[in-house]
Structure 1
């Protein structure tokens, strides 16, 4: 999910994270090492399993 910044996100544990970039991608698959920001980890994971549909997340 792409959103225009700056962006402030409140996580489930109540922690607030901030990004001042012009546009950010939010991770919806929770595979990102930079969660809640997307780092495209889902692409590598879906390539390993051969699952093309997941690569379009």
Structure 2
């Protein structure tokens, strides 16, 4: 059940010039309804949409500066 008090909270770290760092494992539901799954203990979610493996960050944001 969502928001059940017995569930452990996930920690998300926000970075001004980078991805969202999320403690895993995670399931990410994309705009088209597909689900991306990772069982890693920490994942980086792309916020700039430059990643070739979106929704996961591949550090493409480092190649160009944001406007």
TM-score in terms of structure 2 length: 0.66
Q: Which has the larger radius of gyration?
A: 2
Where do 4+ consecutive residues of structure 1 move more than 3 Å? none
* Long gaps (5+) in structure 1: 47-53
RMSD over aligned Cα atoms: 0.8
* Long gaps (5+) in structure 2: 1-19
TM-score in terms of structure 1 length: 0.77
* Structure holding more helix per residue: 1
Would you say how many aligned residue pairs link Structure 1 and Structure 2?
47
